[in-house]
Amino acid sequence: MQVSLEQLLSALIAKVDALEASVDDLRVRTNITLRLLKNLGKEEIDRDTVKKAVEEEFRVSKEAGLIEDSADVVKMIESFADDIYKWLTGDVRELREKMDEYKRKLEEALMSQSKVIDVAPADFVKKLKPKGPKDPDGGGKILF
């Protein structure tokens, strides 16, 4: 079965678009749920409450085998707790700066790569003249 490069790229882009839509939907639902909990909760949600919830999630994830045991878990918990608490309180300045930095690095990486992709035509292999033992031009085989 031959698949053109255009068909392959179209299929991959469609999958990435579907994943992006799913992640965005989950993000919105999670944010709404967190804001509901913040507004409906009897206790004020502070950074320590958020940190306890993050620690519990990491503990469950570790027991389930979803994350490895490492020394970086403490740093990850702190980072997650800070980011979530800042998001809940509406302090998105630092988050915006991180996103801008990520976009800048991504653009730099894309600009540094070659813009030319050389692809052989789909029937290229068929056009090659195989040289077998019965071939008068000499011996040898085409390796795929």
30 belongs to a structural domain: yes
- Same-domain check for residues 102 and 80: yes
Angle at 46 between CA 43 and CA 49, to 5 degrees: 80
16 belongs to a structural domain: yes
Calculate the alpha carbon distances from 3 to 17, 123, 134 in Å: 20, 11, 32
The helix/strand/coil state of 125 is helix
Q: Which tens digits make up the pLDDT trace of 97-134?
A: 888 998 898 888 777 765 666 677 767 777 776 655 55
125 belongs to a structural domain: no
- Report how far residue 51's alpha carbon sits from residue 71's, in angstroms, rounded to the nearest whole number: 17
- Report how far residue 79's alpha carbon sits from residue 103's, in angstroms, rounded to the nearest whole number: 20
70 belongs to a structural domain: yes
What confidence score (pLDDT) does residue 139 get?
A: 52
Asked if residues 19 and 26 have their Cβ atoms less than 8 Å apart, the reply is no
127 belongs to a structural domain: no
Q: What is the mean pLDDT of the chain?
A: 78
What confidence score (pLDDT) does residue 86 get?
A: 86
Calculate the alpha carbon distances from 138 to 133, 141, 143 in Å: 7, 10, 16
Instruction: Extract the tokens encoding 126.
Output: 């068929």
25 belongs to a structural domain: yes
- Same-domain check for residues 111 and 62: yes
- Same-domain check for residues 83 and 105: yes
- Same-domain check for residues 70 and 14: no
Which residue range(s) make up the domain with 14? 9-42
**pLDDT level of residue 16 (50, 70, 90 thresholds):** very high
What pTM value is reported for the model?
0.53
Asked if residues 139 and 133 have their Cβ atoms less than 8 Å apart, the reply is yes
- Same-domain check for residues 17 and 53: no
Which of 13-27, 57-71, 84-98 is least confident? Answer: 57-71
What confidence score (pLDDT) does residue 121 get?
A: 74
Q: How many domains does the chain have?
A: 2
More confident residue, 101 or 73: 101
- Same-domain check for residues 74 and 107: yes
- Same-domain check for residues 72 and 30: no
Sign of CA dihedral 25, 60, 73, 34: positive
- Same-domain check for residues 51 and 112: yes
Closest of 53, 24, 29 to residue 41, by C-alpha: 53
Residue type, 20: E
